């Protein structure tokens, strides 16, 4: 009999340096009131120069394993959701595997924008369900400050740096763990949220650097319109197809991109604001890092989850990519 995967442990890493809205006021034409009213963000964390994604991912992974009292040599696979790897290759998963000394693990990076962690989580869960692996480390980690133009007020206010990790294992008891998921992509969104250069289509050159094509490009209105509709839809549908309602839910953990998108999703699901986990005000959008960092808040900081609680996680990102996951906590 196959076992559902469950989250045994969590870990996170947040850089110490804080970049507040008032700091941004000195860098670009914006202000605290405008940022808070439109996004809900008050500050974000920024990784020190010279430290890459693997630095954060490794530290989140080590805390996750330490909390479970699991030796890195027990890990079977490592999946890192990210769009800001240390370098094109090797994969960040390889660097994490080396740095934590997970000598028996294999792994890979998964690119799905802000949906990276949700996609990586369900991929790892299916590895567990297939019966091939007992311990899969799933990490969401992004150094968004490395690809943000701090002269572009439309994007620089939105993003921060951070990493979160979870350890997946077979759930000892039927009816618990990761029960269901919905994942979607629509390549039409590639025109609205992307990095224009740096890949094989437009390799790095003096011209692409001068044109600032290695930074995040976003048409905010189009992204917002699509995200509100689709993230809310999959969040509601995952409950409906499992015979649940918002009343059955203990916690909704949404991707932390914009407070208005979060509110729209919660309303579509019919859940009260107190069931929605929000930390966007402190950390901004850490891309693949948002949901595992939220999980850390729920479990370690706030202790909001107990056995039997239903949880929905939902994300939306570049691609477009989006999806939702239903868990019953064990």
Report the Cα–Cα distance between both ends of the chain, in Å, rounded: 18
Q: How far is CA 127 from CA 4, 82, 199, 291, in A?
A: 10, 19, 30, 20
Q: How many CB atoms lie under 10 A from the CB of residue 133?
A: 19
CA distance 309 to 117: 21
CA distance 239 to 215: 37
Query: Which of these is catalytic: 114, 156, 171, 294?
Result: 114
Q: What is the pLDDT of residue 309?
A: 98
pLDDT at 191 over 80: yes
Render 40-54 in DSSP notation, one character per residue: ---EEE-PPTT--HH
DSSP category for residue 276 = B
Q: What is the pLDDT of residue 71?
A: 98
pLDDT at 252 over 70: yes
Q: How far is CA 59 from CA 63, 134, 161, 254, in A?
A: 6, 22, 13, 23
pLDDT at 320 over 90: yes
Query: Which of these is catalytic: 21, 258, 279, 285?
Result: 285
171 is catalytic: no
Work out the mean pLDDT of the chain and round it to a whole number.
97
Query: Which of these is catalytic: 94, 255, 279, 294?
Result: 255
pLDDT at 1 over 70: no
Q: What is the pLDDT of residue 140?
A: 99
Q: What is the pLDDT of residue 2?
A: 74
114 is catalytic: yes
pTM of the model: 0.98
CA distance 320 to 219: 13
214 is catalytic: no
pLDDT (average), residues 179-202: 97
Render 7-37 in DSSP notation, one character per residue: EEEEEEE--S-EEEHHHHHTTSS--HHHHHH
CA distance 256 to 258: 6
pLDDT (average), residues 275-286: 98
């Amino acid at each position: 009999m196959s076992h559902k995967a469950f989250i045994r442990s969590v870990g996170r890493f947040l850089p110490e340096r804080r970049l507040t809205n008032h700091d941004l006021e000195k860098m670009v034409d914006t202000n605290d009131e405008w940022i808070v009213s439109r996004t809900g963000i008050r500050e974000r964390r920024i990784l020190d120069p010279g430290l890459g994604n693997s630095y954060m991912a490794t530290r989140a992974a080590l805390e996750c394993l330490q909390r479970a009292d699991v030796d890195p040599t027990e890990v079977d696979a490592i999946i890192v959701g990210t769009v800001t790897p240390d370098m094109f290759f090797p994969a960040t998963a390889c660097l994490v595997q080396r740095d934590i000394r997970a000598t028996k693990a294999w792994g890979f990076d998964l690119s799905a924008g802000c949906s990276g962690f949700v996609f990586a989580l369900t991929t790892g869960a299916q590895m567990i369900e297939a019966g091939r692996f007992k311990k899969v480390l799933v990490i969401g980690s992004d150094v968004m400050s490395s690809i943000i133009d701090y002269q572009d007020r439309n994007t620089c206010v939105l993003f921060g740096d951070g990493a979160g990790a979870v350890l997946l294992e077979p759930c000892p008891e039927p009816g618990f763990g990761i029960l269901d998921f919905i994942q979607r992509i629509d390549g039409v969104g590639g025109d609205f949220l992307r990095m224009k250069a740096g890949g094989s289509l437009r390799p790095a050159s003096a011209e692409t650097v001068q044109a600032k094509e290695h930074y995040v490009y976003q048409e905010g209105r189009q992204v917002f319109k699509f995200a509100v509709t689709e993230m809310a839809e999959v969040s509601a549908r995952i409950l409906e197809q499992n015979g649940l309602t918002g009343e059955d839910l203990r916690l909704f953990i949404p991707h932390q991109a914009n407070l208005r998108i979060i509110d729209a999703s919660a309303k579509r699901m019919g859940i009260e604001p107190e069931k929605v986990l929000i930390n966007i005000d402190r950390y901004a959008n850490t891309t693949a890092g948002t949901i595992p960092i939220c999980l850390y808040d729920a479990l370690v900081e706030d202790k909001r989850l107990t056995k039997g609680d239903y949880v929905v996680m939902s994300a939306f990102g570049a691609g477009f990519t989006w999806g939702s996951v239903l868990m019953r906590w064990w």
